[in-house]
Amino acid sequence: MRNAESMGWLHGRLGTVVLWALLITLESAGQIATKVGGDQLGQMTFTLHWLQAVIVDPGVLFAVGCGIGAFFVWMLILRRSSLSLAFPLSSLVFVGVLLGSWLGLGEQISLLHWVGVAVIIAGIALLAEGEQA
């Protein structure tokens, strides 16, 4: 069995960080694209015409692509991490979506939401510290 160093950077610590950044980016971008796609489609009733419009909407297609990509990245992450640590770390997607909504969509973010971001980050830091022990 080869060690992580001989298998390249993807299998080491840097690879794990890259996979997490990719997961958070794909999940966040997918959620934002879903919002944009839904807004572009407007208020439509659930009909065959609506379903056809959804299937060809670029924002929705991009969101589906992000979801598929995120699924495969998540599988790679789970191969190298325990689920009990990885799943809570995935809450960083909430932070990514909030930042994307604020920066990309111009949404107003309340102080309470920013406090929530701080709590998520503090919780992840506690989990990571507990994992090292």
pLDDT digits (tens, 9 = 90+) for 111-126: 999 999 999 999 888 8
Q: What is the DSSP string of 97-126?
A: HHHHHHHHH-----HHHHHHHHHHHHHHHH
Calculate the alpha carbon distances from 72 to 3, 86, 94 in Å: 23, 14, 19
Q: What is the reported pLDDT for 1?
A: 46
Residue 112: is it exposed, middle or buried by C-beta count within 10 angstroms (0-12/13-18/19+)?
exposed
Tokens 């971001």 locate to 117
CB atoms within 10 A of CB 32: 22
Terminal-residue alpha carbon distance, the chain: 26
Closest CA to 129 of 89, 87, 95, 90: 89
Report pLDDT digits (tens) over 26-60: 999 999 999 998 888 777 777 788 888 888 888 88
